[in-house]
Amino acid sequence: MSVEFRKDLFADERDDDLNEIGKPTQRQDMLGHVTGRSPFYDDHLFEGLLHMRCVRSPHHHARIRSIDTSEAERLPGVKKVIVGSDVPNNLNALLSLLDFGLDDEPLLSDKKVSYKGEPVAAIVADSERIARDAVAKVRVDWEVLPHVLDVEEAIKPGAPSVNGAYPANKFIYHGKYDHQKLRYGDVDAALRQADHVIEGRYQMSPIEQAPMETCGAIAAPETNDRFVCYTATQGLFFSLGTAAKLLDLSSARLHFIGGTVGGGFGGKVDSLHEPLAILGCMLTGKPCKYMFDREDEMQVGAPRGAERWYITDGVMNDGHIVARKFIGYFDAGAYTRLSSYAIIKGAGHLPGPYTIPNVYADIYCVYTNRTPATAMRGFGITGVDFAIENHMDKVANTVGIDPIELRILNAYRDGDMKAHRREAKNTALIECCQVAAEKSGWQTSDWVKQQSSLSGGGGERGQLPTHTATDQHGFVQDGQSGSYGGGSKRQEKSAYAETAAARAAPPAAAPPLRSMPVAQPPTQPARTPEPVQSAPAPAPATGPTAEPPQPQTRRSPARFSSISGLRRR
Amino acid sequence: MPVRVETFSQVEEAARALSSNQKARIYGGGTILMRSVNEGDQSFDTLFRLTDPTLKDIRSEGDRVLIGAAVTMAEIIRHRDLSFLADAARAVGGPAIRTTATIAGNLLAPPPYGDLATALVALGAEVRFAGQGSANVPIDEFMRDRESRKGSVVTAVSVPRLADPTALRFLKVTRVKPKGVALMSIAALLPRAGGRIDGFRIAYGNMGPTPLRVAAVERALEGSSLDEAGITRAAAVATEGLDPPTDALASAWYRREVAPVHLRRLLLGQTG
Amino acid sequence: MAQKPVQFTLNGEDKAAFASDGQNLLDMLRRGVGDLSPKYGCGQGACGACTVLIDGEPCLSCLTLAETVDGKDVATTSGLSSGSGIHPLQDAFMRNFAAQCGYCTPGMLMAAKALLDRNPQPSRDDVVEAISGNLCRCTGYEPIINAVLEASRSGASQPNG
């Protein structure tokens, strides 16, 4: 394995005492892997193991008139047919454990299905084959409903309502808005003064994580009135908490064993298998396995969701980007799962690693009749980065600037202010661009070679905008809440009161466009020891770091923290 | 309704039993059928396993070679007299698939499978059935009504012995490297007689419901010496009269767009 | 449900098991005789995680009817290492960091063993072809290819290393 370490970069910022970094270190589980002895969840054998298969919707969207399981129940070897009414608490949202979002998804649907492959019943049988045969014998009377598969179609008036908890097909942020807002400076004013306005539309398809081991779990009765659950989950306690909630069990009665996972990549956090396997075990008293086959994994297993982004940049002739506006649509599929959180992450990432004085984003978490989306490596970031970096190339082409030069010209430098109102520290985009250009034989100017993340930043670039244009569009009038920042329903009233007050605040007069000088002579790196204060007062509609103070209650929402900024101090 | 397995040591017996049991399937190499078993296909409940050793024979018959129905891809690749089929057989799956996948299974394989079958169409193979002695059905005819032959048992495939193994060219077009399922495959029989080439046979896989011959391309090439002009004429009609499918691998539009390019490369010998 | 007795050798040891109707070899190996080294990845012949050797030839155990191995030799990753140590292929996989989650590894090892048994000095292209039916989602194929090539140089084709 050849890994090159550029210890010359930022050499004076750390002691060169890294004794492990840079040296290959053997995995502790490697011997198990090469001998085939690593214990994956399905490598635990149980006498009398029962197998579970689900009856799934053949339709994108349909009401369930009735489910007739009688023929399936009569099949020899069928031990139990589980339907929605057998699930003690048959409505959940994965992030409800963080008090983020309304419960919107049943474990087994009993009223309607909102995506193709949604489960409506689970067969528990002596063998997988018998379970499959029984699935074929369940009769569901469907009333097929109109469906919508496109994010922008889904939020038009009159579109089919996909998700009962969010009838307008949009997740509600902070208990207030039907999208996640980011407001920093005044984008519209800056666009009017820019030499070029450059627009782009970018679309990413869903991506299946496709782990080699499909998702699954085995549950078995344990002594002391507990259930043991061997699982492929990537989030053991997350899955435990979800199972406890859906099954209305004390988590003390659940003994989860995991840790050896045959590839996850984000696709093994949805905790669909553990509760159902445990329920099968509870209802039969026997060990029960619920596992996706490969077709399930590809069709029903939650992918990285599709994203669509519209980007509008205001660019000066010299290549400085003075405004960047995003309209983003995340396709959550039929249920929230983790998409709402992905957008919070994505909003914190905007406008990419660039210092742009005016940034605006409206990001919608949209429900469609597609397979629910979930996490995948870098989720919330990868899709919009694809859009941003393609757009950077488009800007470079339009303005006639070398794409590396454009990036370095606009790159974050230490001491700059980021759009989510944190000081940029430990920036290294310039150095990355320089090394990438060098490695790929890309010809660059002397100016490019001379730039450094340690100089040219801060100062005026480190200041918050003198004025941020805010607005109330997308304000939710009808009191839907329960989402991140809005907290529990008990908090709704106070959240709305603050919003109303903020709405009354008049915007200040538009300030002159800030210039972003970077070609300063090298000076001391701007390193502010203290974090920059949070946003100025009248910024109710900004990102998560600038939310208005909320009364602390027992169920106050967890804050998503970031570990970036800890590297170089 | 678990799947029952019945074993037959005589292929004729199996053929008789199959004709009276619509819910039985012949288990050959298992590479296609076992997926259906694993996934609980409800359309059949019985597997017929054939242990008749004649199905594994490879033997000469005049100027042709008779290949038993149960001969595997790996056995074709290893056989001295079948070197002209080795490229197409090697295109099927990975080594573990080729160990068990059979020639008869490939003939009957639904899209996107059937790489070897595409080569057999170009080669002008003939298919022999149980209960029909040594009467052969030309492969074009076999492919035309393949669905209706599902109740018969293939016992062997007869192929002409090519004096020049390079006269059969094969190309599998995949989107995954080095190996994936074919979004199309092309086989071309280009027998040389003197300076000219006579008796072109061009076949595509995955450009229709079965591997098929491409009459328009054959006509365009007829009498040509595979020069630039002839190949250009052929490429211009690469998908004439075809109705390529749209599936998870590619759209019909995409297949139409790339077919002339790949055909051209194959005919120019630029596929190495 | 009919059960058929199947007698075969597994990694050199005599085994007897009952194959139920339609049961595949992967399921019989794992649940019938307790050899958990071959893995289920797809049940379709797409991934190679269940690769075993039958009479020395690489086969996909999920696509093999269990009863067809009656009287045959089956080899799996469980039989690669003898009591005294690990097989050179296993050693090379470790040294080349050719596994991350480890789920494809037993199938990869058997595909590689089938190659080296037949072709002790393979080219890089030979290795790529030999593992072309085996998917890996973590490591990337380079470390695996390098491991097989390294093993070939250290005499992995000799029985028991």
**Computed from CA positions of residues A177, A179, A184, A187, in that sequence, does the dihedral angle turn out positive or negative?**
negative
- The helix (H) or strand (E) run that includes residue B34 is helix B33-38
pLDDT digits (tens, 9 = 90+) for B26-81: 999 999 999 999 999 999 999 999 999 999 999 999 999 999 999 999 999 999 99
pLDDT for A34? 97
Q: A52 vs C21, which has greater pLDDT?
A: A52
- C137 and A42 within 8 Å at the Cβ level: the answer is no
Distance between CA atoms of A465 and A122, rounded to whole angstroms? 56
Residue A85: CB atoms within 10 Å: 9
Question: By the CB < 8 Å criterion, does A10 face chain C?
Answer: no
**What's the pLDDT band for B195 if we cut at 50, 70, 90?**
low
A196 beta partners = A315
Counting as contact any 3 or more CB pairs under 8 A, the partners of C are A, B
DSSP E strand boundaries for chain B: 4-8, 24-27, 46-50, 58-61, 64-68, 126-129, 136-138, 154-160, 168-174, 182-189, 192-193, 196-197, 201-205, 212-213
Lowest mean pLDDT among A84-88, A370-374, B54-58, B188-192: B188-192
- C132 and B94 within 8 Å at the Cβ level: the answer is yes
Q: Give the closest of A33, A42, A261 to C99, CB-based.
A: A33
Asked whether the predicted pLDDT for residue A562 surpasses 90, the reply is no
Question: By the CB < 8 Å criterion, does C64 face chain A?
Answer: no
Asked whether the predicted pLDDT for residue A547 surpasses 50, the reply is no
A331 beta partners = A366
Residue B272: CB atoms within 10 Å: 4
DSSP E strand boundaries for A343-491: 359-367
The Cα of B2 is separated from the nearest Cα of chain A by a number of Å equal to 7
pLDDT digits (tens, 9 = 90+) for A333-378: 999 999 999 999 999 999 999 999 999 999 999 999 999 999 999 8
> Once rounded to an integer, what is the mean pLDDT over residues A414-439?
95
The answer to whether the beta carbons of residues A343 and A125 sit under 8 Å apart is: no
A480 beta partners = none
DSSP designation for A415: T
pLDDT digits (tens, 9 = 90+) for B171-182: 999 998 888 899
Distance between CA atoms of A11 and A30, rounded to whole angstroms? 34
Distance between CA atoms of A504 and A497, rounded to whole angstroms? 11
The Cα of C116 is separated from the nearest Cα of chain A by a number of Å equal to 17
Amino acid, res. A525: P
pLDDT for C156? 62
C103 → chain A, closest CA residue: A262
pLDDT for A123? 98
Residue B10: CB atoms within 10 Å: 13
Q: Give the closest of A129, A136, A295 to B2, CB-based.
A: A129
Asked whether the predicted pLDDT for residue A556 surpasses 50, the reply is no
The answer to whether the beta carbons of residues B39 and A295 sit under 8 Å apart is: yes
Give the pTM: 0.89
Asked whether the predicted pLDDT for residue A499 surpasses 60, the reply is no
Q: State the complex-level ipTM.
A: 0.96
User: Per the CATH hierarchy, to which homologous superfamily does domain C88-153 belong?
Assistant: [2Fe-2S]-binding domain (1.10.150.120)
**DSSP conformation letters of A315-364:** E-TTS-EEEEEEEEEEEEETS-TTHHHHHHHHHHHTT-SB--S-EEEEEE
A39 → chain C, closest CA residue: C36
Q: Tokens 């129905």 sit at which residue?
A: B69
- Cis status, amide bond into A24, omega within 30 of 0: no
- Chains A & C: contacts with CB separation below 8 Å: 102
Q: State whether residue B5 is helix, strand or coil.
A: strand
Cβ density class A434-445: b for 16+ within 10 Å, e for less:
beebeeeeeebe
Residue B109: list chain C partners with CB under 8 A.
Answer: none
- C60 and B47 within 8 Å at the Cβ level: the answer is no
Asked whether the predicted pLDDT for residue B146 surpasses 80, the reply is yes
Distance between CA atoms of A447 and A515, rounded to whole angstroms? 19
Asked whether the predicted pLDDT for residue A186 surpasses 90, the reply is yes
Residue C146: list chain A partners with CB under 8 A.
Answer: none
Lowest mean pLDDT among A198-212, A474-488, C45-59: A474-488
Q: Mind listing the domains of chain A with CATH numbers? A: 43-145+210-299 (3.90.1170.50), 180-206+304-402+464-546 (3.30.365.10)
- C39 and A262 within 8 Å at the Cβ level: the answer is yes
Q: State whether residue A562 is helix, strand or coil.
A: coil
Between strands A216-222 and A196-204, the pairing is: unpaired
Question: Domain C3-78 - what CATH class?
Answer: alpha beta
pLDDT digits (tens, 9 = 90+) for C81-105: 877 789 999 999 999 999 999 999 9
Q: Which two tokens stand for residue C117?
A: 């048994």
Between strands B201-205 and B182-189, the pairing is: antiparallel
Q: Which two tokens stand for residue A312?
A: 């509008």
> Once rounded to an integer, what is the mean pLDDT over residues B265-271?
89
Q: Mind listing the domains of chain B with CATH numbers? A: 4-50 (3.30.43), 53-160 (3.30.465.10), 168-268 (3.30.390.50)
**What's the pLDDT band for A6 if we cut at 50, 70, 90?**
confident
> Once rounded to an integer, what is the mean pLDDT over residues A283-297?
98
Asked whether the predicted pLDDT for residue A548 surpasses 80, the reply is no
Average pLDDT of chain C is: 94
The answer to whether the beta carbons of residues B31 and C45 sit under 8 Å apart is: yes
Measured CB to CB, residues of chain B less than 8 Å from chain A are 1-3, 38-40, 42
Mutate to test the interface with C, among B1, B78, B92, B99 (most CBs of C within 10 A): B99
- B100 and C48 within 8 Å at the Cβ level: the answer is no
Question: By the CB < 8 Å criterion, does A31 face chain B?
Answer: no
| Helix A236-247 and helix A273-284, axial crossing angle in degrees, nearest 10 | 50
- A213 and C39 within 8 Å at the Cβ level: the answer is yes
Distance between CA atoms of A206 and A338, rounded to whole angstroms? 14
For residue C58, give every residue at least 6 positions away whose Cβ sits within 8 Å of its Cβ, in sequence order, or none: B95, B96, B99, C51, C52, C110, C111, C114
- A295 and B42 within 8 Å at the Cβ level: the answer is no
Q: State whether residue A51 is helix, strand or coil.
A: strand
> CA B258 → CA A249, B188, B263, distances in Å?
58, 17, 9
Distance between CA atoms of A539 and A520, rounded to whole angstroms? 32
The answer to whether the beta carbons of residues A379 and A304 sit under 8 Å apart is: yes
Nearest residue to A339 (alpha-carbon basis) of A364, A307, A365:
A365
Name the residue ranges covered by the structural domains of chain C.
3-78, 88-153
pLDDT for A507? 42
**DSSP conformation letters of chain C:** --EEEEEEEETTEEEEEEEETT-BHHHIIIIIS----S--S-SSSSS-TTEEEETTEEEEGGGSBGGGGTT-EEE-GGGTSBTTB--HHHHHHHHTT--SS-SSHHHHHHHHHHHHHH-SS--HHHHHHHTTT---SSS-HHHHHHHHHHHHHTTTTSTT-
Q: Which two tokens stand for residue A44?
A: 């635990």
pLDDT for A5? 79
Nearest residue to B50 (alpha-carbon basis) of B101, B21, B24, B11:
B11
- B40 and A129 within 8 Å at the Cβ level: the answer is yes
- B95 and C44 within 8 Å at the Cβ level: the answer is no
Asked whether the predicted pLDDT for residue B197 surpasses 80, the reply is no
Asked whether the predicted pLDDT for residue A59 surpasses 70, the reply is yes
**Can you state the percent helix, strand and coil of chain B, rounding each to 5?**
40, 25, 40
The fraction of chain A above a pLDDT of 70, given in percent, is: 83
pLDDT digits (tens, 9 = 90+) for A212-247: 999 999 999 998 999 999 999 999 999 999 999 999
Between strands A119-125 and A78-83, the pairing is: antiparallel
Q: State whether residue A448 is helix, strand or coil.
A: helix
The answer to whether the beta carbons of residues A347 and A544 sit under 8 Å apart is: yes
pLDDT digits (tens, 9 = 90+) for C103-153: 999 999 999 999 999 999 999 999 999 999 999 999 889 999 999 999 999
pLDDT for A285? 97
> Once rounded to an integer, what is the mean pLDDT over residues A184-201?
98
pLDDT for C83? 72
- B95 and C1 within 8 Å at the Cβ level: the answer is no
pLDDT for C108? 98
Residue B30: list chain C partners with CB under 8 A.
Answer: 63-65, 68
pLDDT digits (tens, 9 = 90+) for B66-120: 999 999 999 999 999 999 999 999 999 999 999 999 999 999 999 999 999 999 9
